[in-house]
Amino acid sequence: MDFFSESLHTALQLIAARDPDVVSAVTVSIVVSLWSTLFASLAGVPAGVAVAVADFPGKRAVVTLLNTLMALPTVVVGLFVYSLVSRQGPLGEFGLLFTPWAMVAGQTLLAIPIVANLTMSAIKGADPRIVPTALTLGAGPLESTRRLVIEMRFGIMAAVIAAFGRVIAEVGVAMMLGGNIRGHTRTMTTAIAMETGKGEFALGLALGLILMAVALIVNMALNTLQQR
């Protein structure tokens, strides 16, 4: 148990000393994850609602595809975006590789299926009386859908929180597209992977504890937002 108590001690020390490397890794993790969660929500929530509400040929295939994409390996997303933003890629001229924005792009792709799928489930599980009630009170198709989204906002918020949890905890995209550059694209997860590789287990675990604490704080903040 010495190992764990030592890690906890190290974690507290790092926090107390506001170690610049740790502060930078925490900041990069949070900022990149928030941006990618925001973009993924802007795309994923409307997509999930549309798939849940609309009837169209091939709907079953789209649902299966969305389910499959939930299991998308981070390194595959990393590879895909890498091929786009690397110097030879179609977006190479913007010099995005090994910047936080490349990480945001990869994590957004990773999170969209999660947001879309969980939003779809929430909407499908909605009370079947919501839409007819809105319609009989004079709502059109758009307004009744808007009402449905408002009524199901807790489920949709849960989808967004799940996506945030996914992106802040992932390491593949951050490593491949960010490059683990100290003070620039080093996140908590890439730092943990690196410290573990160096044999600095206590430091790695300490960063892991900080990551969990950050996730807890962000979720508590989102929950407070949700209950208003």
Partner 1 sequence: MSTCYNLTGIRTTYGPRTVLEIDRLTLHCGRLYILTGANGAGKSTLLSHLALLSTPSAGEIIFGGEPVRWNKGALLRQRREVTLVHQAPYLFTGTVAANVAYGLKLRGVHGDELKRRTEKALSLVGLGGFGHRRSRELSGGEAQRVALARALALETRVLLLDEPLANVDRGTSDLLTSVIAGLPATGTTVVMTTHDPDHADRLGGERIHLVAGELTHPLTGVKLSCSEGDQLCRLSPKPAASFSIA
Q: Which spans of this chain sit near partner 1 (rule: CB under 8 A)?
A: 127, 129-130, 132-140, 143, 147, 150-151
Q: Which of 112, 148 has the CB closer to partner 1?
A: 148
Angle of CA points 12, 15, 19, to nearest 5°: 130
Which residue in 43, 48, 41, 45 sits closest to 66, CA to CA? 48
What is the rounded distance in angstroms from the CA atom of residue 211 to the CA atom of residue 188? 7
Is 23 or 135 the residue whose CB approaches partner 1 more closely?
A: 135
Query: Of 76 and 126, which has the nearer Cβ to partner 1?
Result: 126
| Residue 34, both tokens | 């928030």
Task: Give the chain's count of helices (H) and strands (E).
Answer: 11, 0
CA dist list (Å): 43 to 19, 50, 118, 196:
36, 11, 13, 36
For the bound state, the minimum distance from the C-beta of residue 65 to partner 1, rounded and expressed in Å, comes to 29
143 or 184: whose CB is closer to partner 1? Answer: 143
Nearer CB in complex with partner 1: 73/127: 127
CB of 187 to partner 1, least distance (A): 37
What's the closest the beta carbon of residue 135 comes to partner 1, in angstroms?
6
Question: What's the min distance (Å) between Cβ of 227 and partner 1?
Answer: 12
Shortest reach from residue 185's CB to partner 1, in Å: 42
The answer to whether 177 and 85 are in contact (CB under 8 A) is yes
Whole-Å CA distances, 91 to 40, 81, 97, 225: 20, 10, 10, 37
Q: Looking at beta carbons only, is 73 or 141 nearer to partner 1?
A: 141
Q: How far is the CB of 61 from partner 1 (least distance, A)?
A: 25
Torsions phi, psi of 59, nearest 5?
A: -60, -40
